[in-house]
Amino acid sequence: MGGFLIESFGTDRPEIEIRFPKLNDVFFGAFKDQLIKVKNLEGSLKFTEQEKKATESLYSEAYEVNVELNFLSSYMKDAGLSTDAVSKLKRSLTTSNIEGALLQLKDVKGYVLDNKDALVAEGMSPDYPAKMDDHIDSMDKKNVLQNKVLQARKQLVSDNKADYKKLYSFISTVAEKGKLVFAGTVKEDNYSISKLLKKMRAPKKGGGDENQNPPA
What's the confidence (pLDDT) of residue 209? Answer: 40
Give the helix ranges, DSSP H, for 49-83.
49-78
Going residue by residue through the chain, which has 216 residues, state the pLDDT in tens, using 9 for 90 and above.
899 999 999 999 999 999 999 999 999 999 999 999 999 988 887 777 767 777 778 988 999 999 999 999 999 999 999 999 999 999 999 988 999 999 999 999 999 999 999 999 999 999 999 999 999 999 999 998 888 877 888 898 899 999 999 999 999 999 999 999 999 999 999 999 988 888 776 655 544 443 434 444
109's CB contacts (< 8 A; 6+ apart) are 129, 132, 133, 136
How far apart CA 147 and CA 139 sit, in angstroms, is 12
What's the confidence (pLDDT) of residue 210? Answer: 38
What's the confidence (pLDDT) of residue 214? Answer: 41
What's the confidence (pLDDT) of residue 202? Answer: 61
What's the confidence (pLDDT) of residue 148? Answer: 82
What's the confidence (pLDDT) of residue 49? Answer: 73
How far apart CA 26 and CA 214 sit, in angstroms, is 27
What's the confidence (pLDDT) of residue 204? Answer: 54
CA nearest neighbour of 108 among 154, 75, 144: 75
How far apart CA 170 and CA 2 sit, in angstroms, is 8
DSSP class per residue in 103-156:
HHHHHHHHHHHHTHHHHHHHT--TTHHHHHHHHHHHHHHHHHHHHHHHHHHHHH
What's the confidence (pLDDT) of residue 43? Answer: 83
CA quadruple 20, 22, 24, 28: dihedral positive or negative?
negative
